[in-house]
Amino acid sequence: MTADMKSTIAANLSMIDDEIGKMCKHVGREKANPRLIAVSKVQPKERVIAALEAGHRIFGENRVQEAQERWLDLKSDHADLELHLIGSLQTNKAAEAVTLFDVIQSVDRPKLAKFLAREMEAQDRKLPIYIQVNTGKEEQKSGCLIEDLPDLLKLCNELKLDVQGLMCIPPAADDPSLHFALLKKFAKQHGLSGLSMGMSGDYALAASMGATDIRVGTAIFGERNYS
C-alpha cells in the first residue's frame, strides 16, 4: 500500500466524521452523532487495512461470502470490530451471516426474518437488526414495501428479533430528502429509533435529517473497481 493511499483514507474518514459532526451541531441534534459505517464491499483489502490503521472499526459489506473472505482473520485480530450486513441476504446464507456479522441491516421479508430468528437462537447470538424499506418502490431493489412494513414488524416482534430501526437506499434519480423523511416518519410511527440512511453523495443531508447510521463507501475508499 502506498503511504499516499493510507493517508488519503485516513483524511477522508476524519473529514467525513467532521462534516457529520458539524451538521449535527448545526441542526441542534442533541443525541450522539450517527455511526459512520465504512462500506468496504469490493474494495481492495489494503484499503480496508488503511481504515483499520486509521482507527476505524465499523464496516459494512453487502455479500456474505466476500465479507467472510475479507473479515474472518481480521476479526480475530480486532475484537472491537463491528460488521454490518447492508446487502440482500439469501435465506441459505442466514447461518453464516449470523456467525460473521454484528448487525443485519437488510431484513426485508418474512421468510428471512424467520430464518434469522432460528439461527440466532441456534447460535445463541442475538443480533440487532434493521428492516430495509424500499421507499422508492423500485422493482429491482430489495427492501420491503411500505404497505408490508407493519406486518413484517409484527412478525419480527413475535419472533423476538431485536429490531432497532429502518434502513433505505433512495432511488438514484430522486431527491434523497423525500426518502429520508419517509423513513423517519415510519420509524417514529413504529417507535423505532434507528435510521440507517445516507451514502457518499448525501451523508451530510442524512445527518441533518436524523440518521443514526450513515453508510459511506466511495467517499472514504475511492471508486469501486468491479472488473
Residue 56: CB minimum distance to ligand PLP, A: 14
The region of 51-59, 135-143, 182-190, 214-222 touching ligand PLP under the rule CB under 6 A is: 214-222
Which 5-44 residues touch ligand PLP, going by CB under 6 A? 39, 41
Instruction: Say if CB 103 and CB 127 are below 8 A apart.
Output: yes
Which one among 12, 40, 43, 62 touches ligand PLP, defined by CB under 6 A? 62
Alpha-helix runs per DSSP H in the chain: 3-26, 45-53, 64-77, 94-100, 110-123, 149-158, 176-189, 203-208, 218-221
Interaction between residue 216 and ligand PLP (CB under 6 A): yes
Write the DSSP assignment of 3-33 as a string of letters.
Answer: HHHHHHHHHHHHHHHHHHHHHHHHTT--SPP
The rounded distance, in Å, linking the Cα atoms of 103 and 126 is: 9
CB-nearest residue to ligand PLP: 217
Residue 145: CB minimum distance to ligand PLP, A: 17
Which one among 63, 159, 218, 222 touches ligand PLP, defined by CB under 6 A? 218
Q: Which is nearer to ligand PLP, 188 or 224 (CB)?
A: 224
Which one among 169, 183, 192, 206 touches ligand PLP, defined by CB under 6 A? 169
User: Cell triple for residue 173?
Assistant: 434519480
Tell me how long the chain is: 227
Q: Which is nearer to ligand PLP, 91 or 200 (CB)?
A: 200
DSSP 8-state secondary structure symbol assigned to residue 34: P
Three-point CA angle 151, 147, 86, nearest 5° = 80
Interaction between residue 182 and ligand PLP (CB under 6 A): no
Is residue 96 classed exposed, middle or buried when 0-12, 13-18 and 19+ CB atoms within 10 A define those classes? middle
Interaction between residue 217 and ligand PLP (CB under 6 A): yes
Q: Which is nearer to ligand PLP, 82 or 118 (CB)?
A: 82
- Number of shown-chain residues binding ligand PLP (CB under 6 A): 13
The rounded distance, in Å, linking the Cα atoms of 94 and 14 is: 34
Residues that bind ligand PLP (CB under 6 A): 39, 41, 62, 86-87, 169, 199-200, 215-219
